[in-house]
Amino acid sequence: MRGAAEPLLSQRHARYGLALLAGAALPLAFEPFVFLPLAYLAPALLFYLWLDATPRQALFSGYLFGLGLFGVGVSWVYVAIHEFGSASVMLAALLTALFVAFVALYYGLLGYLAVRIRNALARHRHQRLLSLLLVFPALWIGLEWVRGWFLTGFPWLNLGYSQIDSGLAGYAPVLGSYGLGWVTLLGAALLLLILLYRSRRKQLGLLLLFVALHLLGYGLLQITWTQPEGQPLRASLIQGNLPQATKWDPEALSKRLSLYRELTEQEWNSDLVVWPENAVSTFYHNIKDGYLAELQQRAREHDTDIVLGLPVMDRQSRAYYNSLLSVGRTPGMYHKTHLVPFGEYVPLESMLRGMIAFFDLPMSSFSAGDPDQPLLQAAGHSVAATVCYEDVFGEEVIRQLPEATLMINGSNNAWYGDSFAPHQHLQIARMRALETGRPLLRATTNGISAIVDHKGRLIARSVQFETHVTRGDIQPRQGSTPYIRFGNYPVLLLLLLSGVVLVWLARSRPVAKSD
């Protein structure tokens, strides 16, 4: 290998500039761009910068990488705050910048810990090999996992999601998106090692390992982990494309209800019709005995079930929920369990309410549903239901499995306008289908609505920003993938074992370096 005394990039500003550039480029590996080589090249470049960095340099370069990643990848936060949260341009920019600055801290911490552990292995003969193949990928995935639950979690732009259409996708039903991300990082490390080694024999061996990773992933993708349950279902997804600004406007309610009813009247040949999150923007009890009763009667006449989104209030406690309601042959209800901060509830509400309009949005005091509530029933099947952002938490989705034979997600992507967010969100939703071996029906307010098969492949999708009905057939499925059975525990066990091995290596008798 090239020695640490001859770094290719020795200038501090070049190091930091490249880290920022690598982070800013990585979102291009995700939807809507899907330039997959960047899923390897961006982490590989960051790993290279850490090979001869001090802990302080790694902290700053990792933090700049995170600023680039989230500054580009979640720039849509600005759209939600400014256009629909009624914040000024300056305030929305400031709040977005503060959010990006916070989540970027994960990659600063990643860099610091990675180099501290690398230094603990300083006298080991295979220090660089261990750092690249064991330390850096394991820490990256460990901190992705922490980011997935800390402060309610923000598992957006996790590296594994970029691989939904790659040769590595077969790892998802086995190890989930975190395991898929780990394998991707191993691929990045192998490519970097090929460049660093001078020995043709070692380069060839590393290349064969890289190819083997992909061949194994492709082979796993050929395994059918789940089995068909019953007959295929004809499904229709209703995308109303009504303005977000009118969502809670009482004067616009009649138009909203009429539009969804009229579009549904054309879909009685379907077994299942799905409306998006809060397609009905008034409380359940307000229209239970009129509009919904009539809709249920029509659905029963045509042997169809409708799943629709609306808020539901407990009239005794006055608590209200963001819910999905099934009307037709098998009435039922699902209350969203994982709420979005500020959009559905306000942390530190007594302090923040009234400060700015963004902290006082309509209907932003929802309560969370019971994680153990009964499964929603529709079209004769048990459904794994999620509302909007809930589907980014794979470990929570599998609570409803293996009993559920299909998945339904109702979302409101109008918050994010014409940004990366709807495309990224669909990519995440497809990963849930692949992990669980279940088909997915995803209805959104203004796009992208989609029908996804049990391999995470798109059967049909809507155009954005148009009133649209997406139609297709799905096959409900039974059985369990390894991810349904074990969730994230295998990945967490691998992280623990990696830590044990590293502690043992760091405490073992030092040996001369050879790589």
What string of H, E and C letters represents the secondary structure of 456-505?
CCEEEECCCCCCEEEEEEECCEECCCHHHHHCCHHHHHHHHHHHHHHHHH
Task: Judge if 321 and 389 occupy the same domain.
Answer: yes
Task: Judge if 64 and 167 occupy the same domain.
Answer: yes
Q: How confident is the model at residue 251 (pLDDT cuts 50, 70, 90)?
A: confident
Per-residue pLDDT at 448: 97
Q: How confident is the model at residue 515 (pLDDT cuts 50, 70, 90)?
A: low
Per-residue pLDDT at 421: 96
Task: Judge if 300 and 194 occupy the same domain.
Answer: no
Task: Judge if 169 and 317 occupy the same domain.
Answer: no
Task: Judge if 87 and 153 occupy the same domain.
Answer: yes
Map residue 207 onto helix, strand or coil. helix
Q: Is residue 515 part of a domain?
A: no
Question: Which tens digits make up the pLDDT trace of 321-342?
Answer: 999 999 998 899 999 999 988 7
Residues forming the active site: 277, 336, 388
**For residue 170, what are the domain limits?**
12-224+488-507
β-sheet bridge partners, residue 233 = 474
Which range, of 12-26, 28-42, 50-64, 242-256, averages the lowest pLDDT?
A: 242-256
Task: Judge if 270 and 402 occupy the same domain.
Answer: yes
What's the structural domain count of the chain?
Answer: 2
Q: How confident is the model at residue 222 (pLDDT cuts 50, 70, 90)?
A: very high
Task: Judge if 59 and 203 occupy the same domain.
Answer: yes
Q: How confident is the model at residue 248 (pLDDT cuts 50, 70, 90)?
A: confident
Q: Is residue 65 part of a domain?
A: yes
Task: Count the Cβ atoms, other than its own, within 10 Å of residue 428.
Answer: 23
Q: Is residue 359 part of a domain?
A: no
Task: Judge if 207 and 247 occupy the same domain.
Answer: no
What single DSSP character describes residue 231? Answer: S
Mean pLDDT of 238-250: 84
Task: Judge if 249 and 169 occupy the same domain.
Answer: no
Q: Is residue 470 part of a domain?
A: yes
Task: Judge if 168 and 256 occupy the same domain.
Answer: no
Q: Is residue 218 part of a domain?
A: yes
242: domain CATH number is 3.60.110.10
Task: Judge if 233 and 327 occupy the same domain.
Answer: yes
Of all residues in the chain, the percent with pLDDT exceeding 90 is 82
Q: Is residue 448 part of a domain?
A: yes
Task: Judge if 310 and 441 occupy the same domain.
Answer: yes
Say yes or no to pLDDT of 6 above 90: no
Q: Is residue 47 part of a domain?
A: yes
Task: Count the Cβ atoms, other than its own, within 10 Å of residue 181.
Answer: 28
CA angle 319, 324, 327 (to 5 degrees): 115
242/26: higher pLDDT? 26
- pTM given for the model: 0.94
